[in-house]
Structure 1
């Protein structure tokens, strides 16, 4: 069965909330960048903690960005993927900064991360599907591919 289940917004947010990290996709200096980031869902948006001179901080000037998480549920052999698209803003409001200081965001990279970035979503899309067997997408070329270095 190759059916894809399109997920509703509430289920997408539930999956994003449970994911320990995701990937932020942005354009800087006419080049794509994909950055792993720790995040938290906060009032229908995503929040990241970063350093002021990081590429994540550059997301505020990057225009539209994408954020993607995915996962796999072994017991039912199902995979899922959620993409959030929108714009990033630096959190500057004192009330939001104080509230943001208490958010459970734990960056993996050492160093001060005192800048809060909020991704305000325009689109949230997700899908879930049964994982294909390793040979399900094999082609005739698959069987004739040379082995080893030639």
Structure 2
């Protein structure tokens, strides 16, 4: 079976698709090596917010470090799917009103058990690609193109 090329998605397209994902992947550096963890996530105030339980992962994503978040869906039998990647600085959320608001957005049990921390990934660069379509459009956005009204805190 020959693979089709991946087409770039525009903002509206990748936002619609990523909201259907049930989990995503956090990509970061741990002890100078790449690491990837499954995470529960939400869009909140124009950024990705994830829940973290592991103190080592929290330390690796703290102090404004650059991380990536990726969500996707792929069906190789149908040669269809999509992938969206967000790259930005990670910030641990510590303000009580924000934590209270986020706790209502993350109402279901988390991936991997109890989650003690919320980490915000600033949406500085986004790339979205889709397999199984022919139309091509621009898919990379800067942080200045995102406003609180554009990404509404829900998935």
TM superposition score normalised by structure 2: 0.72
- 55-64 vs 26-35, greater mean Cα deviation: 55-64
- Segments of 5+ residues of structure 2 without an aligned counterpart are 134-155
Q: CA RMSD in A?
A: 2.5
Structure 2 residue matching 1:14: 3-state secondary structure: helix
- Segments of 5+ residues of structure 1 without an aligned counterpart are 132-150
Q: How many residues align?
A: 130
Q: Does 1:109 align with 2:109?
A: no
Computing the radius of gyration from Cα coordinates, the structure with the larger value is: 1
What are the residue-to-residue correspondences of 1:91-110 with 2, within 5 Å? 91-104=93-106, 106-110=109-113
What are the residue-to-residue correspondences of 1:126-137 with 2, within 5 Å? 126-130=128-132
Task: Give the C-alpha shift of residue 67 in structure 1.
Answer: 0.9
Counterparts of 1:52 and 1:3 in 2: how far apart (Å)? 37
Counterparts of 2:54 and 2:76 in 1: how far apart (Å)? 39
Task: Give the C-alpha shift of residue 23 in structure 1.
Answer: 0.9
Counterparts of 2:6 and 2:113 in 1: how far apart (Å)? 39
Q: Which has the higher contact order (CA 8 A, sep 6+)?
A: 2
